[in-house]
């Protein structure tokens, strides 16, 4: 075998090995333990659940899933997302306080903007 014949053989073996590694990569990833699943649910987990609900909705639109099954599965996923949100944010009372605080801040900002606008046009004439 000459030197010119060896190079294509080596390249062929390398290409076959790369293709085999690419084909087996999903199996290797699936066998690794998911460390994120063992931790507490966070915003990312909620968004994964929301994405699953959207995928179920898409499956219903395509006719791959019955509407009754969609209602049941999406209800379970949304309940799980709600539980994750409660664990992340705390009790409903704490959520209510946080929401009320945000509303009060928005009202204060709106009132300040109105006062600034009124101060610029004291006669009520349009700008």
Q: Are residues 48 and 77 in the same domain?
A: yes
pLDDT tens digits for 76-127?
A: 988 888 888 777 776 667 767 777 888 888 888 888 888 887 777 766 555 5
In a domain, residue 24? The reply is no
pLDDT tens digits for 5-28?
A: 788 888 888 888 888 887 877 777
pLDDT tens digits for 33-63?
A: 554 444 444 456 778 888 888 888 888 888 9
> What is the residue range of 65's domain?
39-89
DSSP string, 64-92: SS-HHHHHHHHHHHHHHHHHHHHHHH--H
- Give the list of residues 6+ apart from residue 36 with CB closer than 8 angstroms, or none: 44, 45
Q: Are residues 69 and 52 in the same domain?
A: yes
Q: How many domains does the chain have?
A: 2
Q: Are residues 99 and 67 in the same domain?
A: no
Instruction: Specify the pTM.
Output: 0.40
């Amino acid at each position: 075998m000459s030197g010119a014949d060896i190079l294509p053989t080596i390249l062929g073996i390398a290409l076959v090995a790369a293709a085999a590694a690419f084909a087996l990569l999903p199996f290797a990833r699936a066998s690794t333990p998911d460390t994120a699943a063992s931790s507490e649910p966070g915003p990312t987990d909620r968004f994964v659940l929301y994405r699953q609900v959207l995928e179920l909705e898409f499956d219903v639109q395509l006719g791959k899933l019955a509407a009754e099954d969609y209602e049941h599965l999406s209800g379970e996923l949304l309940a799980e997302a709600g539980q994750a949100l409660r664990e992340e944010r705390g009790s409903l009372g704490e959520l209510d306080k946080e929401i009320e605080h945000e509303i009060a801040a928005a009202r204060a900002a709106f009132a300040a903007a109105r006062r600034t606008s009124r101060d610029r046009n004291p006669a009520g004439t349009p700008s």
